[in-house]
Chain A
Amino acid sequence: MTLWLLRLAFLAGLFFFLFAVARILLRDLHAAAREPGAELGRLVVVESPGEDAPAAGSVFPLDAVSTMGRGVNNTIVLDDAFASADHAALSYRGREWFLEDLGSTNGTYLNSQRIGGPVRVGFGDEVTVGRVRLRLERARR
């Protein structure tokens, strides 16, 4: 009887150890997910009209939701006369990027096609806002 209990206690100890380890591993995973500076993707300016708009080659790291437009409250400020104040938004849902027009005057283009509703964007696709052309790229790590 005691022997039986000892054996069960021993096995329980093994699994309690694994339980304790699993808690630590999970906590580390959560901590790693919260680590700052983990960009999800980046927008690179391919073509720009110059003036006050960001120059070609500029890079914008992206959050889960980034807005673009002429207004200063946007994540990415594109100071171009052909862009609306709140022009378009890029968001990361599930494992994919989506582009959405926010009711702009001149429209938002994905690979030279004007978009209606939200559309899926892949890495390497080009987004045009006003006269600024931007390319979505994979995050550098």
Chain B
Amino acid sequence: MTVALAPAPLFSGSDWDFALINRIYETVEPIALQEMKLDIYPNQIEIISAEQMLDAYSSIGMPLFYKHWSFGKQFVTNEMMYRKGLRGLAYELVINSDPCINYLMQENSATMQTLVIAHAAFGHNHFFKNNYVFKQWTDAEGILDYLEFAKRYIAQCEERYGQLPVERVLDAAHALMNQGVHRYPRVRPRDLKAEAAREAERQAYRDRIYDDLWRTVPTGARADAIPSDARRAALGLPQENILYFLEKTGPRLESWQREILRIVRLIAQYFYPQRQTKAMNEGAATYTHYRIMTTLHERGWLTDGAFMEFLSSHTNVVYQPTYDSGQFGGFNPYALGFGIMSDIERICLEPTEEDREWFGDIAGSGDPMEVLKDIWANYRDESFVSQFLSPHLIRQWRLFKILDKQGDSELRVDAIHDERGYRRIRRSLAREYEIGRQEPDIQVVDVDLSGDRKLIVEHSVLDGVQLDEGDAAMVLQNLANLWGYEVLLKEVESETRKELKSHSAQPNMAWLR
């Protein structure tokens, strides 16, 4: 493709104004949409000050949120870190909504604004719109309206019932927030027609197999038909979404309390995809901005100086400290995502023998953008790493795997970057991103309906790692308060079904009133 070179660079120096932002956007847009063929929600770019960025930070990045002290806590921490210079603020914030809202900080230089537009307005935006996890779980059109509703509703509750009772419900709900997520695709509401059709089908089946003879078969005194199973089915158990369970069946909750649980749960659900796609999301955005910025520079839209500024900031973003550098705090999602995606580009364009063996379907395909877009749409972190972490990258990053077995006195280096180790390392790293492993598997399994209404919750223990005891006790207390009766949490070895430990909590009677 022959492309006209820029008549003059977009800007020189670091100052920007609204006209320049417009020009930048108009220059970036054709590269992103026509050349890279990204598919995005319409963009809305909002310029905010550093103060406002701090505000946005402390309400999980959302422009409006209900009031709660924990956001204040977040705020004072961020504020202090920022003031002491321990942490800079993010250059941008982007909200998965339709239209996609991008916050740009006024303190950014013109180069940074270009970078941020490429990163957020095109990279993240494309990812939000196309990735299957987001498509499945989040409702980009409705989120801002919903937050508005939530904010208003909670403020009304505070007016009507007082700040303290509302705060208590929110505290309890926040403690269970991670257990307020449906992990499997939502059940579509059944419509009446389908219901009727199924009922008719069942009736027809009964008619067909009807035989009067059965009536004559003597029956003994029958025991109650499997009461526990029936009960559990009626309650929809086992249920891993504890907040959902409480909202629907909590015997002592007022309707406004149920609504608050629902609000917290729906917001948790909205953020659920983000937790599963951290590396991919950031990787996609970083890869996009890298391509766009390079293209802009090649065509003369960016001065060499601006490009150097970009490179310096880009390098910081994708820096991965090694395990012994003292700064190591896990894998940097930007670095991991960008690393794998750049490697995929290399595999598509200049594959080695090894790549052809490992990635036969994409090696040498010649069109990295198509391959990447397919990946961005159809993978999440776990599957992405387990499919596309290449031996080349494992060697480049010198990855190794450590095994810490219960009972052993020493750690063992289980795999390094060699022929024997590639697959093991890849599998192991992928498992670190598996959401089911990051978080404990906790389910409501039963309620003692005929007795004291005790709620039974089970943690299925993987690899012998139990719950953090102090926190578990506190959360359990909150759960008991919401449920209104005793709650029992059993920790059960997932394979052997052996019970390792159990905690229980009695509700605090003063709590609900």
- A, B: real partners: no
Q: Which residues of B contact A (CB under 8 A)?
A: none
